[in-house]
Chain A
Amino acid sequence: MKKKVLAALLAGAMTVTLGACGGNTGSGNDTSKADDNTQGTTDTADVSKDAIRFMNTKIEIDGALKEFAKQYQEETGQEVVIESLGGGVDVNGQLKNYYAAGNMPDIFAFAADSYKSSFKDWLEPLDGESWIDDTDYAFKGEDGKVYGMPFALEGIGLAYNKDILDKAGVDPSALTNINAYKEAFEKIDSMKDELGITSVCAVAAESGQMYWSTGNHMMAAYISQGKDRTDKDIIDKLNKGEIDKDRMGQFGDWLQLLFDYSDQNVLISGTYDDQLALWATGKAAFITQGNWIDPSLPTYEAEFACGLAPAAFMEEDTDGIIVDAPAVWGIYNESDKIDACKEFLKALAESEEGQRALVEDCGMVSPYKSCTLEPSTPLAKSMLPYIKDGKTYAWDWLTQPEGIAQNATGAVFELYAKGQLDKQGFVDTMESVIKDYVASNGSN
């Protein structure tokens, strides 16, 4: 039911499964790392009445949050109990269960889409909090009030292996339009043997396994690339069941380019693991994923330099990547300790310990301008200049109709990748499936 939330959290969930708390874990070959970050880590029954219950949905930051909560209690006397849900858990369902049982946590994480469908009525407005001025990513509700505090930024683009690009003499900063990519791909492709790669790109488009990547993260470029953060034109259209045919056509060209230079086996039948392995072992120069793959890199002993380049699919230059806070923290409006919660969130956002916990211990990119700490993971680090220069586009894909990637658009990517649709067919089919999906969901 909540497939989209799941997809949204997959950014995090993937990392959960492939190695826990990113930045500071050394070799990630130990897959049972989530061990001490257990699923329902706290038995809510023995929580004292004065404690703040904090529901965390990113299991990989469980340890760091708990550590911070402990310190916080030592300093202020306020107890905060962190309850972490494991990767892939139906978070919204769990919250609804809590709500039904009159057992809501005081602070919980939510994503933009679940705000619309579920949590609108449960959230305390946070306007006036000092951290709001320090970030561009505070979550605003329909009424313009701030309801969620961002804690980490994720970036979508085309991740590249810098060592390979250097060797081939390709400057990643020039990759800002489709022609630049075309040239770069051709060049790299002609030097395959020299570079020791088997294909230029690692793309996986089989819809059953990869819909969340194609239908959400790749689609994000169509929706947001080159658009001002407040320009909701394309996503609004999509939610009405319409597409921008011209833009979709350009997007189709871009996909065709990526597909043409991909490992064909991984493209039509590969899983996330296959795709990642191809790139992380240095057999492909580019991969269509975001910074959430950072924590998995040690698994493959990937030590090359890398970064995120824009998914610049148009002929015009677009030199930014797609960055947002996929989930934010909000306060339950019927909690009896709203002020204490606000204090705690403030400490997480503004205090040095709080920032250190999130950025250094969790390996996340801070959404706060005042934060000078840098994550140690390569792709996260490469996001910083874009953020500093304001070259970012919003994650509007999050507000697509629920389940559309899994149930509608994912299949179109797959068919296009398999060559069963040509460019015109791709655009037409996209148009018709989006129209149908929105229509059938509207009536239900």
Chain B
Amino acid sequence: MNVQLKKTISIAAMAAGIIGMAAALYMDFSGSASTIRGPLLIAGALLVIAGVYLLPTRKHRSIINVLFLFPLIFAFAVTVLIPFACGIFYSMTDWNGIKFEKFVGLGNYISMFKSNDYIYSFVVTFIFTVINMLAVNLVAFGLALLCTSKVKGRNFYRAAYFIPNLIGGIVLGYVWQFIFNKVMTTVIEGSTSMLTDPNLAIAAILIVSTWQYAGYIMMIYVTGLQSVPKDILEASNVDGANQITTLLKIKVPMIANTFTVCIFLTLVNSFKQFDLNLAITNGAPSRILAGKPVQATEFLALNIYNTAISKNQYALGQTKAVVFFIILAIVSLTQVSISKKKEVEM
């Protein structure tokens, strides 16, 4: 294709695209309800992009750079950056999910920390996160030791233990709800379901969460344990160290990094637990706290969701979400600084 023709096509495409977009935007601003304005805008934008791409110029390389970055950054900005910025702003207004009327400063933050349900949810999430982190890591490390021992069929075990992690929390949650409500009450005849008692219901979510997650963390430990050089292990064997000494004195220190990764991974994921929480208990049962009923198993993520979606208090829900983010950011920064320190040491 000769350059002149290419240039003409390019400019024509850009012009057509701009006209299309302009027409679409005109309709948008003039309040037209025409259904073609959406597709027209998209088509216009695509034409402009095609035109820019075809434009014969020395700066082609720069154009490609921009065009290559554009789709991802555009999606990222629209779905993450802009809502994130809006979200922080909305948390300081009386936003109702559609519009806001006044700026309330830190009012939402104050009323949030005054509400029983949030404080309770905060504490219970914290407890859950810590216990779950310990449980998952202990079980996962144990499983990893088993799967790296000389036991027959260890590859099969690895795959089997990994399976719960493949299925979504929603589906598994309903299955476990069935197990707690129907199976367990039949196995232990005449018992009431664990899910009707506030503390046992939290324990139930812990069990499922550990069950689901341990297989995944196990595989990370397996990878770590396998990276321990064989000659070191052999040497320690020759020196007559027993297995427990080898484990504690050689394997564990050698995979300290893996521990850091796993601990933080489980901390963050336990803290964000939503699907299992929703499907197993959805916050039930209730318990009384300072004279008011609260949802005994409503973790923070569910509390945010219920505040906004069920109770229709969007600004308050958004406020809780911002605090949720801040906590996670602190955890992640801690992780980064710990791994940095380790790298320096090594």
Contact = CB atoms under 8 A, between A and B. Distances in A.
Contacts of A403: 310-312
B192 A269 contact: yes
A206 B314 CA distance: 27
Contacts of A265: 192
A78 interface: no
A227 interface: no
B196 interface: yes
A234 interface: no
Of A101, A208, A412, A428, chain B has the most CB atoms within 10 Å of the CB of A208
B258 interface: no
Nearest to A408: B293
A348 B313 CA distance: 40
Contacts of A207: 284-286
A3 interface: yes
A436 interface: yes
B282 A208 contact: yes
Interface residues of B, number: 30
A444 B293 contact: no
B227 to A, nearest CB: 46
Interface stretch (A57-65, A133-141, A167-175, A413-421): A413-421
Contacts of B196: 206, 268-269, 418
B33 to A, nearest CB: 5
A444 B312 contact: yes
B195 interface: yes
Contact of A3 (B195, B310, B316): B310
A76 interface: no
A421 B292 CA distance: 11
Contacts of A406: 310
Interface in A410-432: 411-412, 414-415, 418, 420-421, 428-429, 432
A230 interface: no
A407 interface: yes
B286 A415 contact: yes
Contacts of A1: 309-310, 312
A440 B313 contact: yes
B153 interface: no
A414 B311 contact: no
A144 interface: no
Contacts of A402: 312
Contacts of A268: 192, 196
Contacts of B96: 444
Contacts of A128: none
B313 A411 contact: no
A102 B285 contact: no
A406 B284 CA distance: 11
Contact of A102 (B33, B292, B293, B294): B33
B181 interface: yes
Contact of A444 (B94, B181, B283, B309): B94
Interface string B85-109: 0000000001010000000000000
Given A268-B192, A403-B312, A429-B293, A208 B281 contact: yes
A433 interface: yes
Contacts of A421: 288
Of A102, A403, A407, A436, chain B has the most CB atoms within 10 Å of the CB of A407
B137 interface: no
B222 interface: no
B192 A411 contact: no
B192 A433 contact: no
30 contacts: A207-B284, A207-B285, A208-B282, A209-B284, A265-B192, A268-B192, A268-B196, A269-B181, A269-B192, A269-B195, A269-B196, A403-B310, A411-B293, A411-B295, A412-B286, A414-B284, A414-B285, A414-B293, A415-B286, A415-B288, A415-B293, A418-B196, A421-B288, A429-B291, A429-B293, A436-B292, A441-B312, A441-B313, A444-B96, A444-B315
Interface of B: 33, 94, 96, 181, 192-193, 195-196, 281-288, 291-295, 306, 309-316
- Which 7 A-B residue pairings sit nearest by Cβ, starting from the closest? A208-B284, A411-B286, A411-B293, A269-B196, A102-B33, A444-B313, A269-B193
